[in-house]
Amino acid sequence: MQFARGAWKILVAIKDGLALILLLLFFAGLYALLSARPNIAAINEGALLLNLEGVVVEEPAAPDITAFLTGGNRGTVREYRLRDIVRAIDASADDDRVKAVVLDLSLFMGGGQSSLSSIGDALDRAKKAGKPVYAFANFYSDDSYQLAAHADQVWMDPMGGIVFAGPGGSRLYYKNLIDQLGVTAHVYRVGTYKSAVEPYLRADQSPEAKEASNALYSVLWDNWLTDVKKARPTADLEPYAKDPAGFIQAAGGDYAKIAKDQKLVDIVGDRVAFGRFVAEKTGTDKLQTPDSFKAIKYDNYVAANPPATNGSPIGIVTVAGTIVSGEEGPGTAASGRIAKQIYKALEEDELKALVVRIDSPGGSAFASEEIRLALNDVKKAKIPVVISMGDVAASGGYWIAAAGDHILAEPETITGSIGVFAVLPSFEKALAKWGVTADGVQTTPLSGQPDFIGGFNDDLNGILQAGVEHNYADFIDLVGKARGKTSEQVNRIGQGRVWDGGTARQLGLIDGFGGIDAAMAEAAKRAKLKDGEYHAKYLDAPASFGWLPFGGIPFVQEKPARINSIAGWAAQQQRVTFNRALVTMENLLSAQDAQALCLECAGTVPARNANHNLSDLLKLYSISSAPR
């Protein structure tokens, strides 16, 4: 009994200790949340500081209080909502308190090409309104320079540099690996150009995939050059981009000299010198720091400038991320959640029109159809539906877009990829190496199928391929009806091929060019609303902490590694490539049905999280090795 009483006291002490720790974590979390709340009253005169320490996205992932309390959000980077950045810059144009706009791009990890063009257009509008724009970074690459080119003055650290890589590069192919492991990848697909499954069938890229990639990437590169040249006509971009090694060797490795000689930057100076320069224009901060100019914090300014609410509401629903079934939060395009948003808005009977903002490479064919059917019900209620494509609206993203009365995209938008596939693994070869085999009896041809241990039989393979072909027939049929084409015409421009926005317009896949504002104007015209008589009503479910305008928790998210040199840039590119490989494998192996997914689109937008490590790969392999 004495031993039992002692053991009981120990257990009670452990319980009380754990309760105390959880209580302390709760109050620490609550304090941190309240401390992070934007302070509108803190806005005074100064420079609007866009210190972008992460990636630009259409819809940030929802914050997770549980992950915060357990430290599970560490290793992620901050996600900035595109429309918030544009709204802040536009608001600064008419705000006498804002003396300048400052871009600090040292920790910027990028965004989609059309998203960055939208930010660049906003910067040009601010400049036209008389607001000077200044940019600083230790190191510039394609995405950061696309924004910096819009500045009145571009600064670079003396020990920094600039490199332009352009779109494209290698993808990982797993055929030899899965053969060595003894894994059989059962692939069912329709589409000559549906290259998403090629890594499981080949050790290299097919000629058809190379043809499509070359056509797409060359257009994106030309558009990038045009955008940057228009913003900074004096910059001599192409010679350096075509022969970086020659220029760097000729300069003896002096990257700053190249940047000045090619007129890529205006001033070579460190962060302290840049801060003092801006302070001369906007005033000196009372707290002396290397960034000693008076600054208006981005989060405060976004909170102080909410979207307008005058006039009739035009609903905007966002389809961002991989399309999946279910109720997942923002950052993933969960069909159940998005369909509920659409039907709720329809029931409220106040919307005059609906704009669907799509920034998705696709995903589940079933989930894409669920969202499309909800949009069809909106059209049946005589409410106009206009589609606004972001950086990517391909495969399942285009499946949804086909429901629109009018489709707008940007020249850099990646769209099309009309094709369907499914991938399922089996492990009979791997187990046979260890002497494990499978045998049994069947009452029907599908008894025990899919057999991940003994392998798939011909009946199952035929059924799965037929199902994928049927999904593809549905895809081209619905696109044909929506775009006034026959199924044969859609099939010729389908086959899984990815198109840029300009080519998509020529092919009749979209109706015109324009961003979200143009889509709003088109929706208003169809609803017979005049300019100034409408406002955007975003139907997105509010984040758990709705007052966080960026949809994330900055005090638990890690800052990305600062890139100070070409070596640092190369190291980050390695991490990004590794991360994309993990995401690709995870997407395919977790799929629940046939996929209308454009995995080749991933190389055109920044990875949201480039901090995966070897343990992530091992966890993923253990998932892929389990019977599903």
- How many residues are recorded in the chain? 628
- CB under 8 Å to 219, separation ≥6 — which residues? 411, 500, 502, 503
Type of residue at 399: W
Residue 15 falls within a domain, yes or no? no
Among 304, 335, 353, residue at a domain's last position: 304
Question: In this structure, what are the phi and psi dihedrals at residue 194, rounded to the nearest 5 degrees?
Answer: -80, 80
pLDDT band at 1 (very low <50, low <70, confident <90, very high): low
Please provide the average confidence, as pLDDT, over all residues in the chain.
83
Please check whether residues 321 and 252 belong to one and the same domain. no
Query: What is the model's pLDDT at position 64?
Result: 57
Q: How many helices (H) and strands (E) does the chain have?
A: 23, 22
Burial class from Cβ neighbours inside 10 Å (0-12, 13-18, 19+) for residue 448 reads: middle
- DSSP one-letter code for 343: H
Residue 198 falls within a domain, yes or no? no
114, 364, 368, 395: the catalytic one is: 395
How distant, in Å, are the alpha carbons of 114, 439, 463, 546 from that of 413?
A: 6, 51, 35, 30
Query: What is the model's pLDDT at position 628?
Result: 27
Please check whether residues 109 and 239 belong to one and the same domain. yes
Residue 284 falls within a domain, yes or no? yes
List, for residues 135-152, the tens digit of each pLDDT value.
999 999 999 999 999 999
Among 507, 538, 569, residue at a domain's last position: 538
Report whether pLDDT(553) > 50. Answer: no
The Cα 375–Cα 325 span in angstroms is 16
Residue 190 falls within a domain, yes or no? no
Contact by Cβ (8 Å): 165, 147: no
The Cα 246–Cα 474 span in angstroms is 52
The Cα 498–Cα 371 span in angstroms is 22
Taking the CB of residue 298, how many other CB atoms lie within 10 A of it?
20
Type of residue at 115: S
How distant, in Å, are the alpha carbons of 308, 355, 532 from that of 311?
A: 9, 16, 7
Q: Which residue has the tokens 């949201």?
A: 608
> Which of 144-158, 202-216, 537-551, 594-608 bottoms out in mean pLDDT, i.e. has the lowest?
537-551
Alpha-carbon dihedral sign for residues 462, 467, 473, 476: negative
Please check whether residues 467 and 352 belong to one and the same domain. yes
Report whether pLDDT(199) > 90. Answer: no
pLDDT band at 305 (very low <50, low <70, confident <90, very high): very high
Contact by Cβ (8 Å): 458, 534: no
Query: What is the model's pLDDT at position 445?
Result: 85
Query: What is the model's pLDDT at position 272?
Result: 92
Q: Which residue has the tokens 């959880």?
A: 22
Q: Which residue has the tokens 């017979």?
A: 528
Q: Which residue has the tokens 């976004």?
A: 302
> Which of 186-200, 388-402, 497-511 bottoms out in mean pLDDT, i.e. has the lowest?
186-200
Per-residue pLDDT averaged across 420-446, rounded?
A: 85
Number of domain units in the chain: 2
The Cα 573–Cα 569 span in angstroms is 6
Type of residue at 395: S
Report whether pLDDT(416) > 50. Answer: yes
Strand partners, 267: 155
Query: What is the model's pLDDT at position 261?
Result: 94
Query: What is the model's pLDDT at position 4?
Result: 59
Burial class from Cβ neighbours inside 10 Å (0-12, 13-18, 19+) for residue 263 reads: middle
Please check whether residues 296 and 361 belong to one and the same domain. no
Please check whether residues 326 and 267 belong to one and the same domain. no
Please check whether residues 407 and 467 belong to one and the same domain. yes
Taking Cα atoms as reference points, which of 409, 415, 412, 414 lies closest to residue 518?
Answer: 409
| 566-589 helix and 614-624 helix, angle to the nearest 10 degrees | 20
Residue 179 falls within a domain, yes or no? no
Among 518, 538, 558, residue at a domain's last position: 538
Query: What is the model's pLDDT at position 582?
Result: 59
Please check whether residues 295 and 320 belong to one and the same domain. no
Q: For the chain, how far is it from start to end, CA to CA, in angstroms? A: 50
pLDDT band at 606 (very low <50, low <70, confident <90, very high): low
Residues 185/186/192/194 CA torsion (nearest 10 deg): -60
Pairing of strands 184-190, 420-426: antiparallel
Contact by Cβ (8 Å): 486, 479: no
Report whether pLDDT(360) > 50. Answer: yes
State the number of CA atoms in the 13 A half-sphere of 220 facing the CB: 29
Query: What is the model's pLDDT at position 614?
Result: 38
Between 610 and 191, whose confidence is greater? 191
Query: What is the model's pLDDT at position 568?
Result: 47
Pairing of strands 153-162, 414-416: unpaired
Query: Tokens representing 23?
Result: 């209580």
Question: In this structure, what are the phi and psi dihedrals at residue 611, rounded to the nearest 5 degrees?
Answer: -115, 20
Maximum alpha-carbon separation in the chain: 88
Residue 626 falls within a domain, yes or no? no
How distant, in Å, are the alpha carbons of 276, 354, 482 from that of 406?
A: 50, 11, 10
DSSP 3-state assignment of 311?
coil
Please check whether residues 347 and 495 belong to one and the same domain. yes
Strand partners, 489: none
413 lies in which domain range? 312-419+449-538
Please check whether residues 524 and 502 belong to one and the same domain. yes
Residue 3 falls within a domain, yes or no? no
Pairing of strands 414-416, 498-500: antiparallel
Question: How is 175-232 classified by DSSP, letter by letter?
Answer: HHHHHHHT-EEEEEEE-TT-GGGHHHH-SS--HHHHHHHHHHHHHHHHHHHHHHHHH-
Report whether pLDDT(28) > 60. Answer: no
pLDDT band at 14 (very low <50, low <70, confident <90, very high): confident
Residue 386 falls within a domain, yes or no? yes
99, 194, 294, 352: the catalytic one is: 194
List, for residues 243-272, the tens digit of each pLDDT value.
999 999 999 999 999 999 999 999 999 999
> Phi/psi zone of residue 528: left (φ > 0), alpha (ψ -120 to 50 degrees), beta?
left
Strand partners, 314: 353, 536
> Which of 145-159, 510-524, 577-591 bottoms out in mean pLDDT, i.e. has the lowest?
577-591
State the number of CA atoms in the 13 A half-sphere of 588 facing the CB: 26
Please check whether residues 526 and 380 belong to one and the same domain. yes
Establish whether 175 is a catalytic residue: no
- DSSP one-letter code for 597: E
Per-residue pLDDT averaged across 556-578, rounded?
A: 52
Taking the CB of residue 226, how many other CB atoms lie within 10 A of it?
11
Establish whether 194 is a catalytic residue: yes
Report whether pLDDT(119) > 90. Answer: yes
List, for residues 51-105, the tens digit of each pLDDT value.
999 999 999 987 655 555 555 555 568 899 999 999 999 999 999 999 999 999 9
- Which CATH number covers residue 135? 3.90.226.10
Question: With pLDDT > 90 as the criterion, what percentage of the chain qualifies?
Answer: 55
Alpha-carbon dihedral sign for residues 345, 350, 352, 357: negative
- CB under 8 Å to 444, separation ≥6 — which residues? none
Pairing of strands 362-364, 595-597: antiparallel
Report whether pLDDT(130) > 50. Answer: yes
The Cα 334–Cα 326 span in angstroms is 5
**Which strand (E) or helix (H) includes residue 281?**
helix 271-282
Please check whether residues 299 and 316 belong to one and the same domain. no
Please check whether residues 81 and 154 belong to one and the same domain. yes
- DSSP one-letter code for 565: S
